[in-house]
Amino acid sequence: MVHQEQSAEEMDERSGHRLARIQPHLQSGKLDFMPTLGIGQPALDLATAFPQATPASIFPPSVSDYYQLDDLLSPEDVALRKRVRDVMETHIAPVMAKYWEKAEFPFEVVPKLASLMVAGGTIKGYGCPGLSVLGSALTMSEVARVDASCSTFLLVHSSLCMTTIAMLGSEDQKQKYLPGLAHLDTVGCWALTEPAYGSDASSLNTTAVKVDGGWKLNGQKRWIGNSTFADVSIIFARNTSTNQINGFIVKKGSPGYKATKIENKIGLRMVQNGDILMKDVFIPDEDRLPGINSFQDTNKVLAVSRIMVAWQPIGISMGVYDVCHRYLQERKQFGAPLAALQISQEKLVRMLANIQAMSLLGWRLCKLYEVGKMTPGQASLCKAWNTLRARETVALGREVLGGNGILSDFLVAKAFCDLEPIYTYEGTYEVNVLVTGREITGIASIKPATAGKAKGLLISQEQGAKLHSAL
């Protein structure tokens, strides 16, 4: 058959037809249902059109407990894990990819999360569940196994906002705020990080000025999860009188307080991270947290929440492994399932080994905390090492899924991206490692040398070289 090239006139005519199709949608401003410039067929339903691989909307059973670590759990913790797992697989898994793609928070699943009665974690009373620290950590991992964004939503709400009020708030503040937060009738956020201060969180620019009857807050916060819809925000600011860090409870709708969504994230896309701008925000004295009088008080909360963060990568890795385990047995190439290939088995076993080691480290950390022996360095090491191993695990999962490894439908691509912010938040890998390094050596190395010290070091090195040459 002779190939006939289209003339310029014919191409212009086709383009005109295409533009005519979309012109009414452009004029109306309704672009949701705008036809594509091509044929415009709907996406395939993977479950029916591609029977060789079940999508993660139908979540696989958990098969990652190779060393039977469930034997280390109490019957209550085992029952809690099963209850959370059932809700996540049944109600969250079917919708997670849709909301992740749209970068929207799945408000429709909040009632299901509330029904678990896990918000508040280890807090006793005030409508909170009073879980063991291990039980709370298991909850975090089970939520993260299906969806990391939902686990981060709960982490910020429960392990940061609620824990701060419980540990460092007044009795009146606990009575006023915790019951509603425990039932997810209200949602909380926790605002420490600023545009200019991430790892150097103790050097805050946000200020708190004492005025009659309260305080006025001015400044900015960045990367604050849940902030665009939170009813209660924990804000950290520098007291201009003492130059120390104080904490405040800021209610939604306070004059001068504005939170806007950070766009274009590639990870935890369902989490609504925001920029907060405060201009003369008045906070009554009753909403100043009396237990926060320095950055060291803030660290008390971070030490607890870092345990929960250390269990997020465990859960993410479990979910990735479960999906890959099923996929490799379903997907056939060269007349055999991919699971029959040696290279697939090697990668799958490496993923499994990582999960066993991460889980044991997380379990031991919880036990140390429960008996009052956990140190900040131990918490930092667990968070840093688990996120590092999880990074390797999801990367291996991406490899064994081949081309489907870049589709959010099969969880792994989504988990690959979601792990990146977890690797960084609540202390980057490097900062957490150096916290542990400081603890085991007694030498602090997190902050770089000042300009003066660096100059002095250079001079001493030059003098040493001269002395050596003279000898």
3-class DSSP state of 333:
strand
CATH superfamily of 296-441: Butyryl-CoA Dehydrogenase, subunit A, domain 3 (1.20.140.10)
Between β-strands 207-211 and 232-239, what pairing exists: parallel, antiparallel or unpaired? parallel
For the chain, the residue count is: 471
Q: Does domain 188-294 have CATH number 2.40.110.10?
A: yes
Cα–Cα distance measured from residue 87 to residue 82, given in angstroms and rounded to the nearest whole number? 9
Q: Single out the residue of 92, 147, 145 nearest to residue 318, CA to CA.
A: 145
Tens of each residue's pLDDT in the chain, 471 residues:
444 455 656 656 665 665 565 566 556 555 555 455 445 677 777 767 777 899 999 999 999 999 999 999 999 999 999 999 999 999 999 999 999 999 999 999 999 999 999 999 999 999 999 999 999 999 999 999 999 999 999 999 999 999 999 999 999 999 999 999 999 999 999 999 999 887 777 789 999 999 999 999 999 999 999 999 999 999 999 999 999 999 999 999 999 999 999 999 999 999 999 999 999 999 999 999 999 999 999 988 988 899 999 999 999 999 999 999 999 999 999 999 999 999 999 999 999 999 999 999 999 999 999 999 999 999 999 999 999 999 999 999 999 999 999 999 999 999 999 999 999 999 899 999 999 999 999 999 987 765 444 443 333 344 333 333 332
Same fold, 69-182 and 296-441: no
Write a three-state SS string for 13-57.
HHHHHHHHHHHHHHHHCCCCCCCCCCCCCCCCCHHHHCCCCCCCC
Q: Which CATH architecture has domain 69-182?
A: Orthogonal Bundle (1.10)
Domain boundaries, the chain: 69-182, 188-294, 296-441
Output the six-digit token pair for 312.
């997020």
Residue 107: how many other CB atoms lie within 10 Å: 10
Q: Single out the residue of 199, 198, 302, 196 nearest to residue 247, CA to CA.
A: 302
- Tell me the Cα Rg of the chain: 26
How many Å from the N-terminal Cα to the C-terminal Cα in the chain?
89
Cα–Cα distance measured from residue 348 to residue 324, given in angstroms and rounded to the nearest whole number? 8
Please give the pLDDT value at position 67: 97
Residue 388: how many other CB atoms lie within 10 Å: 17
Q: In 285-324, where do the E strands start and end?
A: 288-289
- Crossing angle for the helix pair 412-424 and 376-400, to the nearest 10 degrees: 160
